[in-house]
């Protein structure tokens, strides 16, 4: 019962305050893409505050995040990491599924932020578009973030990586940083959120230029490291 009460209070507070934050993105957009990134960081830091003080969810970071531009590949179990990593990784260009980009107004805000929109049933033409957008983001000095399993998965599930990862790994030529996280343990897809600790573990940096099988194998193993 307490978990449900906390969850309901969180939803009221977070979504209630998020609405005006998202609705004022056009004001930030007048000052350029960097202002939109700063605007988004304010929002995600508010999300972190609400999760900590309403839901009782804390964050633990293991491993060392490398300095400089990188291609990040993260485990995806909950909405939590899509917001948390925006602030933690200093505003990376994030690969998002098309359904999110079609949410009224929020989708427009995501595009102004610099989100790279992907169709999960992507054709070769669509893949070329994703690579083109990611390459353009790289040229501005931003890191790139992808959730290469393509959708949220349950704790303990280890699906293969989607083809988009290999395409971007090869095209970007950046050091790749796998990130494991266990958000699904306290932030389930259904039911109330639970107090606890969400761990983000930065894995060993994977250099560019490896063959597809080796790169995918190393990233897949590091992303699932918290599952034991």
Q: What confidence tens digit (pLDDT) does each residue in 69-91 have?
A: 999 999 999 999 999 999 999 99
Lowest mean pLDDT among 7-11, 100-104, 125-129, 190-194: 100-104
What is the predicted pLDDT for the residue at 149? Answer: 92
- Each domain of the chain, given as residue ranges in start order, spans 58-227
**pTM across the whole model:** 0.91
In the predicted model, what is the mean pLDDT of residues 152-175?
94
What is the predicted pLDDT for the residue at 26? Answer: 79
What is the predicted pLDDT for the residue at 21? Answer: 87
What is the predicted pLDDT for the residue at 42? Answer: 92
CA distance 126 to 193: 36
Nearest to 78 by CA among 200, 164, 161, 178: 200
Share of the chain above pLDDT 70, in %: 92
What is the predicted pLDDT for the residue at 107? Answer: 64
In the predicted model, what is the mean pLDDT of residues 141-153?
93
- 173 with 148: CB under 8 angstroms? no
């Amino acid at each position: 019962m307490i978990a449900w009460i906390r969850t309901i209070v969180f939803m009221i507070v977070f979504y209630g305050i998020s609405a005006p934050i998202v609705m004022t993105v056009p004001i930030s957009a007048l000052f350029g893409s960097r202002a939109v990134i700063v605007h988004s960081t304010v929002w995600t830091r508010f999300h972190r505050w609400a999760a900590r003080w309403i839901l009782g969810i804390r964050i633990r970071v293991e491993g060392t995040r490398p300095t400089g531009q990188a291609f990040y590949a993260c485990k995806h179990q909950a909405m939590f990491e899509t917001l948390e990593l925006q602030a933690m990784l200093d505003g990376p260009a994030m690969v998002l599924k098309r359904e999110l980009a079609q949410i009224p107004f929020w989708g427009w805000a995501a595009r102004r932020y610099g989100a790279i929109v992907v169709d999960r049933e992507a054709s070769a033409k669509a893949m070329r578009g994703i690579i083109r957008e990611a390459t353009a983001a790289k040229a501005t000095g931003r890191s790139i973030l992808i959730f290469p399993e393509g959708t949220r998965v349950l704790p303990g599930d280890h699906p293969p990586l989607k083809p988009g990862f290999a395409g971007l790994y090869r095209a970007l030529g950046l050091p790749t940083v796998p990130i494991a996280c266990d958000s699904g343990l306290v932030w389930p897809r259904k039911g109330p959120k639970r107090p606890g600790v969400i761990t983000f573990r930065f894995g060993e940096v994977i250099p560019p230029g490896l063959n597809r099988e080796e790169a995918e194998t190393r990233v897949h193993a590091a992303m699932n490291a918290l599952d034991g």
